[in-house]
Structure 1
Amino acid sequence: MSLEHLDTKQPLLDVRGLKKFFPVKGPLGSIGGVKGYVKAVNDVSFHLYEGETLGVVGESGCGKSTMGRTILRLTDPTEGQALYRNEDIFQLSGKKLQQVRKDVQMVFQDPFSSLNPRKRIGQTLEEPLAIHSIGEKQERTERVMDIMNKVGLQLDHYYRYPHEFSGGQRQRIGLARALVAGPKIVISDEPVSALDVSIQSQIINLLQQLQEEYKLTYLFIAHDISVVRHISDRIGVMYLGQMVEYAPTDSLFANPLHPYTQALLSAVPLPNPYKKKERIILRGEIPSPMNPPSGCIFHTRCPYVMDVCKTEAPTRAEAAKGHVVACHLYGERES
C-alpha cells in the first residue's frame, strides 16, 4: 500500500508504552516471594494503519510473540495502552472486549498445538462463529466451507482431525480460523517459521491475496527479515523487549541506522554469488531480560559503544521521514 499519507491518517491500532513483566519467584515458590522480573516487553510503542502490514523482527526471545499475545490480552499487560479505534483494549470487558476479539484475531506460532486434537477441523472453524453469534448452523457451515476454499483446503478436510494434516495445511487451518469471523486486524505470530521454503512462499502469497480481498491489516511477527521484507510496508526491529528502530521497508533496507539492524541485515545472503558484503559479527551474549544492561540495552554488544551509552538510555529520534531509531549516534530528538 502507499505510505505517503499515513502520518495524516488515524491509526487503526495505537500501542503506547506497552510493558509485560513476568515475576520470577524464589526456590520456595510463592513462599519465597518474588526475586525479580523478566522484562519480556519493555516500553514498546507503534502505530498500525488500516490496510498496511507492519512487520516485527528480532532474535528469538526478544519479546515479539509476547507483545502480540499481550495486545490481544491473552496475557495481561503490566503497563501501557493498546488503542483500537480510540478505545483501550486493556480497559475493556464484557461485550466490548468480545467485539474487539472478533475484530483482532491471531494466527499462532505452532499450527499443531493451537488446534484441539479432539475436534474435527469443521468444529474448530465454526467455534468462533458460535462464540460471536454469527449466523445459524447452516450459515456457519457454508461460511467455513467458503473460507476453507479460499485458503486452499479441500472441503472433505472439514471432517478430519488435526493429526491428519501436514504442517502447511495446519497453518492454513490456523489462518482460516483467524479469518472466519471477519476480523479487521490479524496478528500473525511466526506463521511460516516451521515450514519448508516452498510452503513458506505459498503461505506468504496467500496472506497477501487475502489481505487484498478482505482489506485486512497485518501485524506480522517473524525472525526471518527476508520474509518480513517481502510482505511488510513498514518494519519494526526489536531487541531485548524494546523496539530499537522502525521505518518504511525500503528505507530500512536502503539505510539501516541502528547497529543491531545493520548486523541483522548483514546476515541476509545476497542472491548474486559473485557479490560479497561485509558481515557484522556481534560479540558477547544476549543479556538476560531479567537484568538488562543500564543505559542503552544494546551497548554490551555494540561496535560503536560510547560512554554515554552505558549510563543513559537513548530517546527515539526521527532521523528521516517515518524512520525512527533509538540510538545515541543520532541525537536526542524525541519522536
Structure 2
Amino acid sequence: MPDTAQNDRPLLEVKGLKKYFPVRGALGTTVQEVKAVNDVTFTLKRGETFGMVGESGCGKSTLGRTILRLTEPTEGQAIYDGRDVFDMTDAQLKAARQDMQMVFQDPFSSLNPRKRIGAILEEPLVIHGIGTAQERTEKVLDILTRVGLQAEHYYRYPHEFSGGQRQRIGIARALMVDPRLIVCDEPVSALDVSIHSQIINLLKQLQAEFGLTYLFIAHDISIVRYISDRIGVMYLGQMVEQAATDDLFAAPKHTHTQALLSAVPVTQPGARKERVVLGGEIPSPLDPPSGCVFHTRCPMATELCKQKAPARREITEGHHVACHLY
C-alpha cells in the first residue's frame, strides 16, 4: 500500500533560509554583508508549480541556487522529501541531484560551446553512472524529440541553434536523469517575446507527462500567473506575500504585490485600471531599512513599520502576508 503520510508531505520545505554574501575590506575582513535572501519560508507540494516573482535584484535567483546548494546557505533548512539538503554529505548530495535539477536563465552560457549536443545531454548520465553507451544515446534521442527537437540535432554544436532551441536543450538536459523537482530560473527572460509561450507550454506539457514539480522564478508576473498554482512575492530578500494564484490576483494584500499587478498591461479594449505607483528607489541589500524593508516606498507606512519588522501571518487559508496592516 502507498505511504499516505509521505504522499501528503510537501516535496520541499524551505524554513528560515538566509544567504548573506560578505563584503571584504582591504585586509580581507568582512566589513558588511549583502542580505540577498533573508529568512524565507515556504513549501512546495508534489506536482505543483510554485511561482517566485519580484523586481530584479530581490534575491529570487539566489534563493533557487541556494536551495540546490549551488551556493552554500548562511542559515536555514531546505528539506527535500524529508531530508535536509544542507546537511547532506557530498555523496548524498550527488545522489539527490538526480531528483533536483535546474534550467538556467541564459541558454547559451549554460551550454559548453566545445561539445556537441549529444555529449552535453549524455554527460549527466555519465556522471551518475546511468546506462550503457547505447542506452545513453537512445535516451538522448528520445528526450530531444520530447522537447521538440530532432534526432539530427544530436551532432550539432550550441552555436548552431536559436535561443529558443538552446533553451529546449537546457530543458532536455534537466530531464536526462528523471528528476522530480526542477528549478526554472527565469527560463524565458533571455528569449524573444514570441518564443515565451512556446517554452512555457512545453514546460506545462512535460510537467503533465513526467509528473514534475517546478519552482518557477521570473520577474514577469503575467507569465508566473499562467504557469503557477501558487505564487510567492519577494522584495529585498524577503517573501512579503504568498497565496494561491487566483487568490493573489483577486485580492492582493501587500502594497508591493498590488503595485506589481497594477503594472500588468490591460488586454481588454477600452478597459482601464488604477496604477499603484511606488515612490523612491529600491534600498540596497547592503543596508536594508530598519523595521519593514518596504516602508521607504510604501504609501501606507506608519511609525510602527519603521521600527518593527512585520510577522508573517495567514490571513485566509493559504494566504500569507508580512504587513502590519493585517
TM-score (norm 2): 0.97
Aligned partner of 2:195 in structure 1 is 199
What one-letter code is carried by the residue in structure 2 that aligns with 1:100?
A
Matched, 1:127 2:123: yes
Matched, 1:158 2:157: no
Matched, 1:225 2:233: no
Identity %, equivalent residues: 69
Deviation at 1:100, TM superposition (A): 1.1
Deviates more, 1:209-218 or 1:149-158: 149-158
Aligned partner of 1:18 in structure 2 is 17
Aligned pair count reads: 321
Aligned partner of 1:314 in structure 2 is 310
**C-alpha distance in 1 between matches for 2:148 and 2:227:** 19
**C-alpha distance in 2 between matches for 1:107 and 1:32:** 34
**C-alpha distance in 1 between matches for 2:220 and 2:306:** 29
**C-alpha distance in 2 between matches for 1:221 and 1:94:** 26
Secondary structure at 2:259's aligned position in 1? helix
What one-letter code is carried by the residue in structure 2 that aligns with 1:97?
L
Secondary structure at 1:56's aligned position in 2? strand
**C-alpha distance in 1 between matches for 2:30 and 2:233:** 31
Matched, 1:246 2:242: yes
Secondary structure at 1:329's aligned position in 2? coil
Moved over 4 A (4+): none
Aligned partner of 1:43 in structure 2 is 39
Where do 1:1-335 residues align within 5 Å?
9-26=8-25, 28=26, 31-330=27-326
Please list every run of 5 or more consecutive structure 2 residues that lacks an aligned counterpart in the other structure. Answer: 1-6
**C-alpha distance in 2 between matches for 1:251 and 1:161:** 45
**C-alpha distance in 2 between matches for 1:39 and 1:273:** 43
Secondary structure at 1:23's aligned position in 2? strand
Deviation at 1:9, TM superposition (A): 2.5
**C-alpha distance in 2 between matches for 1:70 and 1:318:** 26
Deviation at 1:32, TM superposition (A): 4.5
**C-alpha distance in 2 between matches for 1:71 and 1:86:** 14
**C-alpha distance in 2 between matches for 1:250 and 1:100:** 33
**C-alpha distance in 1 between matches for 2:191 and 2:125:** 28
Secondary structure at 2:33's aligned position in 1? strand
CA deviation digits over 1:110-148, x for unaligned, max 9?
Answer: 111111111111101000011111110000000011000
**C-alpha distance in 1 between matches for 2:192 and 2:274:** 28
CA deviation digits over 1:224-249, x for unaligned, max 9?
Answer: 00000000000000000000000000
CA RMSD of aligned residues (A): 1.1
Aligned partner of 2:3 in structure 1 is none
**C-alpha distance in 1 between matches for 2:90 and 2:260:** 42
Deviation at 1:175, TM superposition (A): 0.3
